A and B are shown apart, each in its own frame.
Chain A
Amino acid sequence: MTTLAVETIGLSRRYGRRWALSDVSLGVPAGSVVMLAGRNGSGKSTLLRVLATALRPDHGSARVAGHDVRHERDQVRRQVALLGHHSFHYEALTAHENLEIAASFLGRPCDPGLLARVGLEERADDPVSSYSAGMRKRLALARVLLQDAAVVLLDEPYGELDPPGFALLDRVIAELRSRAATVIMATHLVERGRALCDHALLLEEGRLAWSGEAALMPAEAPGGSARA
């Protein structure tokens, strides 16, 4: 029997009167790399934020790494890393200081090679406020690597990255796959997603519209782009 890293049943979440997620039921096998596709506003970010326990669901249930997102938040958070639209960093501090802070809360030493891995070693002691959007994304990626989580949620990870950044992210996803982490990646780059991912999920207006093997996902999927 396949172990599920993520399982949702009837998951729903609304903002005011608008349902961003509606009755979403899905299962993600442990160790798999999954593409989450859909138009802007289809609920991709909301789903990832609910799974990361940044948002509470209004209805339904979700389990991540065997823990309930509603009642076992701390246990879920120890197993999940989220790369979201915000970089989670302090602008006034340097990249090195930001990673040191995250490491101190995780209770583990900060790997000095992390910033080199994401190509930021030369700017490690500059304040994050002086970084470009792509550099902030790289720093956020370093933080995800620092967390060493079993489930990694990537929300538009290619956004703002340059071509070397794309290659870096491809390598990171391959590394995560090799250490059997579960990756769910929300992206509009369907071609790239098909090449990297095992499975795909398509959301439309907050509902799960399609799921299956990534290679079989239609290239003209709503919100998708053939460019990779």
Chain B
Amino acid sequence: MSQFVAALRKDLLLQWRTRSQLVAVFVFGASALLLFSFAIGPNAAALREFAGGFLWLALLLASTLALADSFESEMAQHALEGLLLLPADPRALYYGKAVANLLQLTLLGAALVPVMVVLYDAGTARVPALLGIIVLGAAGLSAPGTLYAAMTAQVRARNTLLPLLLFPLVVPALLGAVKATSLLILGDPMGQLGAWTMLLVAFDAIYWSLCGLVFERVVED
């Protein structure tokens, strides 16, 4: 547990020191939302209907930048290898970084919501529920994203490879997050929100348990 706390503190400190990159990632996500709105055109009903999907697409695209960045500093001077040789527990290193990435993606998702409200006129009165879905959706991106970012960190084509590996894997979590977000924006007359949220929770549990087990294989030798 103490190693997990040490890893989390280390990753939060690294994120704070490189916070200008988070601003760039936010601008990228906001730009994606803007471009998606152009694709729909001046159709208020359609904009509102697809707002949830576009929010998660923007967050997914922006997340690949944030996740790849999270391993840049680990690889520059082989800092991750240095920690493993101390020895640090690989699972503590994984969960520390995955939780730090979860916090970063949650912050990013929460920051993109006002942009979505302005561009798509897609607000909701159930703000705490929307934040809850953002946390669960961000968890569905950050757990496999951290694992794949570690796998691709030493590959020359990592910026291409990371989304290629990540996107197919996170489809179930993304589906749950999009449907739950859309139900919060458009209303939930059939009471489906609970079922989609449970799907999201189930896939989060699978990702967070399996990826933690696999991480040691990825980073050792």
Contacts and interface: CB of A to CB of B under 8 A. Distances in A.
B118 interface: no
B6 to A, nearest CB: 4
Interface stretch (B30-38, B72-80, B197-205): B72-80
A86 B77 contact: yes
Contacts of A97: 13
Contact of A54 (B10, B17, B76, B85): B85
A74 interface: yes
Contacts of B85: 52-54, 77, 80, 82, 88
A91 B73 contact: yes
A101 B10 contact: yes
Contacts of B83: 88, 101-102, 105
A93 B15 CA distance: 10
A74 B10 CA distance: 21
B193 interface: no
Nearest to A88: B82
Nearest to A56: B221
A15 B76 CA distance: 21
Contacts of A87: 77
Interface in B67-109: 73, 76-79, 81-88
Interface in B36-83: 73, 76-79, 81-83
B13 A93 contact: yes
A86 B78 contact: yes
A92 B6 contact: no
Contacts of B88: 105
Nearest to A146: B86
Interface string B1-39: 011001001100110011000000000000000000000
B18 to A, nearest CB: 6
A46 interface: no
B88 to A, nearest CB: 5
A122 to B, nearest CB: 21
A54 B85 CA distance: 7
A104 B6 contact: yes
A106 B3 CA distance: 9
A60 B143 CA distance: 37
Interface string A131-172: 000001000000100010000000000000000000000000
A78 B89 CA distance: 12
A89 B82 contact: yes
Nearest to B92: A105
B142 to A, nearest CB: 20
Contacts of A102: 82-83, 86
Contact of A91 (B76, B84, B87): B76
B84 to A, nearest CB: 8
B87 to A, nearest CB: 4
B171 to A, nearest CB: 34
A59 to B, nearest CB: 15
A90 B77 contact: yes
Contacts of A78: 87
A39 interface: no
B210 to A, nearest CB: 23
A89 B9 contact: no
Given A86-B82, A90-B79, 5 more contacts: A74-B87, A87-B77, A88-B83, A90-B73, A92-B18
Interface of B: 2-3, 6, 9-10, 13-14, 17-18, 73, 76-79, 81-88, 221
26 contacts: A53-B85, A54-B85, A54-B221, A55-B221, A56-B221, A74-B87, A77-B85, A78-B87, A88-B78, A88-B81, A90-B76, A90-B79, A91-B77, A92-B14, A92-B18, A93-B13, A93-B14, A101-B10, A101-B83, A102-B83, A104-B2, A105-B3, A105-B88, A106-B86, A128-B77, A147-B86
Closest 7 CB pairs of A and B: A88-B82, A77-B87, A86-B78, A104-B6, A92-B17, A105-B88, A56-B221
